[in-house]
Structure 1
Amino acid sequence: MKTLHDAFADTAKRFPDNAFLAVPPLEGRSYYPDGAEFTYAEVVDEVARLQGLYRKAGYAHGHRVGLLLENRPEYVMHLLALNGLGVSCVPINPDYQHDEMLYQMEHSEADLAVCIAARHADLMKVSEDREQPLPVVRVEDLDQGLPTPVRPARTDAPDLMTEATLLYTSGTTGRPKGCILTNEYHLTAGHWYAHIGGLVDIRTGQERLYNPLPLFHMNAAVVSLGCMILTGGCLIIPDRFHPRSWWKEVVATQATIIHYLGVVPPMLLNQPVTPEETAHSVRFGIGAGVEPELHEVFEKRYGFPLIEVWGMTETGRIFVVNTEPRMIHTRAFGRPTGDFEAKIVDENDNELPRGEPGELLVRCRGNDPRRGFFAGYLKNDEATVEAWKGGWFHTGDTVIQDDSGMLFFVDRKKNIIRRSGENIAAAEVEAVLQSHDGVAQVAVIAVKDDLREEEVMACIVPMAGWQPDEALAQALFDYTAERMAYYKPPGWLLFMDQLPTTGTQKIQKTQIFSKDEDPREQPGIFDFRALKKKKKH
């Protein structure tokens, strides 16, 4: 098998009548409110139809197509159709604002954008502002014909090293970085999940995996999708996480595996008891970040284990606690197995003794340490080389490894804020705030949040002549909200007379507050958390 499409076609021949994609019922949703299910055979036909439309227009190996299809099964169908032609998919986060979408479409040099009708106007504005016009087509209008791509295609056939997806992930230096994910990456990730073994027992042709995470993330669109394709299982795709209807959806879709992030368990535990919560068919959950004090509580109430994992867009493979004891009262996330190696180092990349915290470095065992990893950051060779210095990928996560080899998460070394599963680059938020006329200096930091793990906090020194009052705070929040996805603006905002800096005027974020201080309890702080809501399009 050389492509993800090859793997799908092979499985479809073996399990044509198996369900492949499912959508849970949800009253009021704009699509499939009663739910939907598609067999492998049905998706084969639709993929062939889509492939014919793209091929007729001239889309082939080397082109890129932006897809703004939300969390709909149609995204997977387009991905597979394009993949078979050698065309790379660039999933667009539906929560992106204009500037974010414009950057992504310019940076990726997408040859075409396909979107749902409700987002056509938004992408047309992006097209108008892009240096090179971007053809935009409603997914409902594909049958009417597609514009011919301007760039010539490659003449060779797609293979394992062909770019399959370009996923954008938050970087520490501001703008998101485009991670080039090849067919090899997709297949490696799916195979890894399918063959973890132990407590993660994937039964061929039997699993129904409910994943509420977005299709512009590697978890749902690569690891989960690849595993189901390779094993003849069904990927259940809700539009997003709904705590109130979670168990109804899980039961209605007959899910056998669920995926979660740290925010999911506490929100479910806060819901009233319902008959569905114990009438499910779930065998286990897989995810990351469940609070140790809630782990056992969740498992006792709902009757299945939550299995902790660790992974990154760049790595594809995941570490997982797949044997007992799972050490659920700690932040254990697995041991190195197979060809996925790890070591813990200090700031100079010297390996540390067991039990000492340091940065987690990972690689593939053997002659090619990058095999199965991302192929690099698009147009950013410097960042790629830096991430791989010494032949190991630098994760930026601080961990501890005990004498048994078990890895325990401690903290993130990088300047990244983790809010409800979304990685937010502090530098990106800082750049937007700094562009406001009323901001002289800004430092964006992560603060603890009881529900969402972390929240964005902005510490701001106003320009001379600007009053540090509620009106300015509201104006700054609105300014960022107009330019960034809903989860990125500051949930907390604090005006300060000055920020601590080094001799070279670099802001020292660790010196803003003492270790004993809770930034959220500072006098005069503004709380905008309630305003950070997902917009309806």
Structure 2
Amino acid sequence: MTGAATLAPGLPALIDGAPAARAAEALAARSATLYEAFAQAATVHPDNAFLCILARAGRAYCPDGAEFTYGQALEEVETRAALYRAAGYGPGHRVALMLDNRPEHLFNQLALYAVGATQVPVNPDYLDHELEYLLEHSEADLALGHAGNIDQLNRVGSALGVPVLEEAALRGLPRVSGARDEVPGRTTEAALIYTSGTTGRPKGCVIDHEYHFAVGLGYARHGGRLALLHGGDRLFVPLPVFHVNAGINTLTALILTGNCLILPDRFHPDSWWQDIAATRATAMHYLGIIPPILMKRPPSAQDRAHGLRFGLGAGLDPDLHAAFEDRFGVAMVEVWGMTETGRFLADCHEPRRIDTRAFGKPYDDLEAQVWDEAGREVPYGTEGELVVRAPGDDPRRGFFREYLKNPEATAEVWQGGWFHTGDVVRQEPDGMVHFVERRKNIIRRSGENISAAEVENALIGHPSVGAVAVISVTDEMRDEEVMACIVPAEGAAPDETTARAVFEHGRALVAYYKLPGWVAFVDDLPRTGTQKVRKGLIFPGLDDPRDAPGIVDLRALKKRSKP
């Protein structure tokens, strides 16, 4: 059950994406920064739709919806760029943007690119200490927020001496000095994206404009089921702009091809298909959590009342893939990528392996191999670590530049001239790569990377916890969920009351989505001779740790505490 045979009759035919790819290449070739590409695009087709905000009654911004053409968006960007420029902002300055999925985020992002400064997007679910770490580690020169989070920003920023400003009052920008005397170009730092690391603290990925162009061109060149039209596509992306997917990768691809980004505040299952139809979306992005939720909803006339050609995402269960395409009439393309790599692999050419965990083959923009622990390429069909690099003389071209202030971690992931992903995969003789598991101590929940070490550090301080190991478990809705395996301290009861108390202790230390959805009380944690926990042996003989006796389900407690 692979390939075209699984495609429902209602699926749209493949299109030729070559014109869009050629247009993207031409625009990228004559642009030094993403801002320059955007400004040129706005000059060539000012009336093309650039950004669509769908209506959402009661939302604090654009409750009636909004749509900006390239020309209108350029005016918004230029107004802000002039303010930044007049206040002295330029290369070497970093501005934290805590603006959620509001259009102001993109306007300020591009305005900062115009003056050569760096955007540092902020997860709005951060607690104070997480926000404090980001502002301090990034050495932000300014933190920009909105009315809903300005109190938190002021509270944290004032303690650090970081100026804070509400975006609506941008004309009051504080002056800065010390901008580097350079013309912004391909190697100018553009963004600092924080991604969870295996040692607990998030790592800041330094991203330049070359990264933007590499990923945007990669998207435009994929073709097959992912073929973009030139000036004729509208992509519905229900993901946060503080991630690279929506805020850098897709944004760049759409600018280079003259297309429109549809940006909801988040995933709304009740109105998903109505929103798709109302915004005239021609493609969508998804996380693994989205398809199963949509499949559980009762059949409706809305199921196929859309114009989608494809969906792009990761984590769609192979057992659900064909059924989703049959019901909704849209080709769902599984991809693989990381913040550090920008470019992604995609199973986008027929016949697709939709009944497997396949996610694509190496292609002209991204080389890939599978290595063993000794750094040797393994035979086809053998499991090993996925390593990737750019083609040509510079294997790092278009990747993240470095982990900020962490040269050791940067060197570690680039051993042997290839980027080590930490993902265990296997490769078929035709080049197709299949996902097996993650080797790194990272949990991937609903698109968020969660450091197991960070959660362990948050829980170990509770007096009922003698020892703790955090692992990932399968979750049918969210791809993976967090499980805390706890050895109770002396006198502590291994029961739900204790589990809830530990959970509430952690709530004050990490964002809600990092908290354990499951707690398992164990007698001991198996360790190596060097006292490293052997997490794979905590539940010997069990394929699914959720089947262990006495575990406590706390998933219902994982709710946002912020409005």
- The two structures have a TM-score, normalised by structure 2, of 0.92
Distance 2:537 2:219 in 1: 42
Instruction: Establish whether residue 462 from structure 1 lines up as the match of residue 488 from structure 2.
Output: yes
Residue number in structure 2 paired with 1:95: 125
1:395-434 mapped onto 2 (5 Å cutoff): 395-434=421-460
1:146 to 169, 173, 177: 173
SS in 2 for 1:44: helix
Q: Which whole-Å deviations, capped at 9, do the CAs of 1:481-508 have from their partners, x for residues lacking one?
A: 2221211001111233322222332222
Residue number in structure 2 paired with 1:11: 41
SS in 2 for 1:353: coil
54-63 vs 465-474, greater mean Cα deviation: 465-474
Residue number in structure 1 paired with 2:375: 349
Q: In the TM superposition, what is the alpha-carbon distance from 1:326 to its structure 2 partner?
A: 0.3
SS in 1 for 2:355: coil
Distance 1:354 1:470 in 2: 46
468-477 vs 449-458, greater mean Cα deviation: 468-477
Residue number in structure 2 paired with 1:227: 253
Residue number in structure 1 paired with 2:392: 366
Distance 1:285 1:368 in 2: 32
Distance 2:90 2:431 in 1: 46
Distance 1:518 1:333 in 2: 24
SS in 2 for 1:195: helix
Whether contact under 8 Å (2:539, 2:548) holds in the other structure is: no
Distance 2:529 2:502 in 1: 29
1:234-253 mapped onto 2 (5 Å cutoff): 234-253=260-279
Amino acid at match of 2:70: Y
Residue number in structure 1 paired with 2:468: 442
Q: Which whole-Å deviations, capped at 9, do the CAs of 1:330-381 have from their partners, x for residues lacking one?
A: 1111111103111101111111011111100000111100000000100000
Instruction: Establish whether residue 135 from structure 1 lines up as the match of residue 170 from structure 2.
Output: no
Distance 1:303 1:466 in 2: 53
Distance 1:299 1:506 in 2: 44
Whether contact under 8 Å (2:225, 2:331) holds in the other structure is: no
Residue number in structure 2 paired with 1:2: 32
Amino acid at match of 1:134: V
Q: In the TM superposition, what is the alpha-carbon distance from 1:465 to its structure 2 partner?
A: 4.2
Q: In the TM superposition, what is the alpha-carbon distance from 1:517 to its structure 2 partner?
A: 5.3
Going from structure 1 to structure 2, the CA distance change for 1:522 and 1:199 (only over 3 Å counts) comes to closer
Structure 2 unaligned residues grouped into runs of 5+: 1-30
Amino acid at match of 1:307: V
Amino acid at match of 2:134: Q
Q: How many residue pairs align between the two structures?
A: 533
Whether contact under 8 Å (2:292, 2:476) holds in the other structure is: no
Residue number in structure 2 paired with 1:85: 115
Distance 2:275 2:164 in 1: 33
497-506 vs 325-334, greater mean Cα deviation: 497-506
393-402 vs 331-340, greater mean Cα deviation: 331-340
Distance 1:128 1:441 in 2: 36
Residue number in structure 1 paired with 2:526: 500
2:340 to 314, 317, 322: 314
Identity of aligned residues (%): 54
Amino acid at match of 2:418: W
Distance 2:169 2:539 in 1: 55
SS in 1 for 2:105: helix
Q: Which whole-Å deviations, capped at 9, do the CAs of 1:369-417 have from their partners, x for residues lacking one?
A: 0000000100000000000000000001111111111111111111111
Amino acid at match of 1:147: P
Distance 1:286 1:494 in 2: 35
2:58 to 14, 21, 28: 28
Q: In the TM superposition, what is the alpha-carbon distance from 1:273 to its structure 2 partner?
A: 2.2
Distance 2:188 2:350 in 1: 39
Give runs of ≥4 in structure 1 deviating > 4 Å: none
Instruction: Establish whether residue 339 from structure 1 lines up as the match of residue 346 from structure 2.
Output: no
Distance 2:184 2:66 in 1: 32
Residue number in structure 2 paired with 1:293: 319
Amino acid at match of 1:335: K
Distance 1:462 1:53 in 2: 56
Residue number in structure 2 paired with 1:522: 548
Q: Which whole-Å deviations, capped at 9, do the CAs of 1:267-316 have from their partners, x for residues lacking one?
A: 11111223222111111111111111111111111112111111111111
Residue number in structure 1 paired with 2:17: none
Amino acid at match of 1:72: R
Distance 1:476 1:400 in 2: 38
SS in 2 for 1:81: helix
SS in 2 for 1:244: helix
Distance 1:427 1:107 in 2: 19
Distance 2:56 2:494 in 1: 45
Q: Which whole-Å deviations, capped at 9, do the CAs of 1:429-464 have from their partners, x for residues lacking one?
A: 011112334432110011111211211011122333
Residue number in structure 1 paired with 2:203: 177
Distance 1:301 1:495 in 2: 41
Whether contact under 8 Å (2:542, 2:548) holds in the other structure is: no
Q: Which whole-Å deviations, capped at 9, do the CAs of 1:193-226 have from their partners, x for residues lacking one?
A: 1121222211111110100011111111111100
1:194 to 220, 227, 231: 220
SS in 2 for 1:414: coil
Structure 1 unaligned residues grouped into runs of 5+: none
Residue number in structure 1 paired with 2:13: none
SS in 2 for 1:258: strand
Distance 2:548 2:281 in 1: 45
SS in 1 for 2:457: helix
Distance 1:67 1:148 in 2: 17
SS in 1 for 2:550: coil
- The two structures have a TM-score, normalised by structure 1, of 0.97
2:93 to 52, 55, 63: 63
Distance 1:197 1:496 in 2: 50
Residue number in structure 2 paired with 1:479: 505
Distance 2:314 2:39 in 1: 31
Residue number in structure 2 paired with 1:51: 81
Distance 2:51 2:511 in 1: 28
SS in 1 for 2:270: coil
Distance 2:256 2:541 in 1: 48
16-25 vs 448-457, greater mean Cα deviation: 448-457
Distance 1:122 1:470 in 2: 33
Distance 1:216 1:483 in 2: 21
Distance 1:518 1:338 in 2: 39
